[in-house]
Amino acid sequence: MRITAITLGITALAAGAALADPVEPMSVKYDDYGAIETSLSGMPGDAVEGKKVMSSRGLGNCVACHEVSALADVPFQGEIGPSLDGAGDRWNEAELRGIVADAKKTYDGTMMPSFYKTSGYIRPGNAFTGKAGTEPLPPLLTAQQIEDVVAFLLTLKD
Amino acid sequence: MNKTTASRLALTLVLSFGAGAALADENADLVVNEEIEMTVRAPAPAYLDGHLPEILSGWLFRSDETQDLQRDDFDNPGMIFVDQALDQWAMVDGSEGKSCASCHDDPADSMAGVRAVYPKWNADAGEVRTLAMQINDCRETQMGAKKWGYTSGDMTAMEALISVQSRGMPVNVAIDGPVAATWEQGKEMYYTRYGQLELSCANCHEDNYGNHIRADHLSQGQINGFPVYRLKNTKLNAAHDRFKGCVRDTRAETFDPGSPEFVALELYVASRGNGLSVEAPSVRN
């Protein structure tokens, strides 16, 4: 009986771990307005990490196009997209997750790159080498990095 | 000058350069050598269908300091390469015992106006030719010399020498007749969103010129100043090298300089600048 209980316990743990597996980019469920209801990583986001992802050239580099007053120490913020000040008031968590993962599902034709999309590109490249890449490409951000960015964006209140 | 004064001066220079780098004077006018009046803003050609209110030289988007470098040939580092090409012009090369000068004499006479109309149709070859393609055809067919690399130093210098003879003349490439299909191909490329970042030329250079993308001040991507001396790499740069870098930066499989695709794109982009002055060798960052 005890052995059965331990086995059950392990099975339950394994099931729990499976639930926390990231949703693959191809399997993401967007609603009709482009929002994503549940965490892509199965885990909550970390706003401090999200701040790093947004500021770093090698990661999200969101500030290349967007101004964020809360990141005043990050130089050369861009003017291509809207300012993200107050983003946490303008969009809810599911909407922000959808916009960061694939903004074209929310705003048709937007210039914003899709950060959690791996195929369907024209002449997909191997990162910045200029050489051909093979789809599915690695997404620009991981599931957890997207959750982290969403967590940071939710802190931006007017 | 004591040490404190020197360092304070250095700091002031750094600060003023920093400010200049961030703010371009978009109302400036360009006169080279107090003589050649450049058209740096012109009405947009009708075939741009109102997508641009006017066409603007990339010179307008650069810092005051960079702008100044193009005002005088003694300050323009690109002119060094023009001098080198002038030596090359007179140099015999290849099996036919000819130099450029053997057929074309003084480039100031024979090459005036040439840059302004390239890329153009070559009826004998039945193809659209860029200036680089024409130079290499001359070398192979007329001189019996080896072709130059499409974006090599020899090539960009020779293009600069030929372009200088047209400085101040309006770019005037043909878009119809036998080049129409190539022009359409280039136009389609201009609006195609390449690579993992899914960016077209138009996303940055039509919809967002004048805006900053991180530290870059986006221009209209005009090529009337090519080959261009870039402070970034301290050499002359061919338009196709710039195209290659731009497409690469969309995380795409880029195209090769001299490829049919980039010839088409060059024709189309050049036509977007019809009416601006030939500026080469221009100076950019």
- What's the pLDDT tens digit per position in B45-75? 999 999 999 999 999 999 999 999 999 999 9
Predicted confidence (pLDDT) at residue B17 exceeds the cutoff of 90: no
Within-domain flag for A70: yes
ipTM: 0.88
Residue A136 lies in a domain: yes
Minimal CA separation from A126 to chain B, in Å: 7
Establish whether B100 is a catalytic residue: no
What CATH number should be reported for the domain holding residue A30?
A: 1.10.760.10
Reported confidence tier of residue B278, pLDDT bands at 50, 70, 90: very high
**First CA to last CA distance, chain B:** 32
A10 is a domain residue: no
Is A8 among the domain residues? no
Whether the CB-CB separation of A135 and A117 falls below 8 Å is answered with no
Q: Report strand pairing: B31-32 vs B36-37.
A: antiparallel
Q: Is A89 domain-assigned? A: yes
**B23 falls in which pLDDT band (50, 70, 90)?**
low
Per the domain annotation, does A15 fall within a domain?
Answer: no
For chain A, the distance separating the N- and C-terminal CA atoms, rounded to the nearest angstrom, is 58
CB contact under 8 A, A125 and B198: no
* pLDDT band per the 50, 70, 90 thresholds, residue B25: confident
Q: Quote the tokens at residue A128.
A: 């910045």
Q: Is A79 on the interface with B (CB under 8 A)?
A: yes
- Best mutation target, B200, B250, B251, to test chain A (most A CBs within 10 A): B251
Give chain A's domain count.
Answer: 1
Within-domain flag for A137: yes
Q: Which residues of B touch A140 (CB under 8 A)?
A: 196
Which percentage of chain A shows pLDDT scores above 70? Answer: 87
The parent domain of residue A75 ranges over 22-155
CB contact under 8 A, A128 and B244: no
A 10 A CB-CB count for B171 gives: 25
Give mean pLDDT, residues A78-87: 97
Closest residue to B253, CB basis, from A64, A111, A124:
A124
| pLDDT surpasses 50 at B7 | no
To the nearest whole number, what is the mean pLDDT of chain B?
93
CB contact under 8 A, B192 and A121: no
Q: What is the pTM of this model?
A: 0.90
SS3 content of chain B, % helix, strand, coil (to 5): 45, 15, 45
A59 domain-assigned: yes
Catalytic residue among B100, B201, B204, B246: B246
The reported pLDDT for the residue numbered A89 is 98
Chain B CB contacts of A122 below 8 Å: 192-195, 198, 252
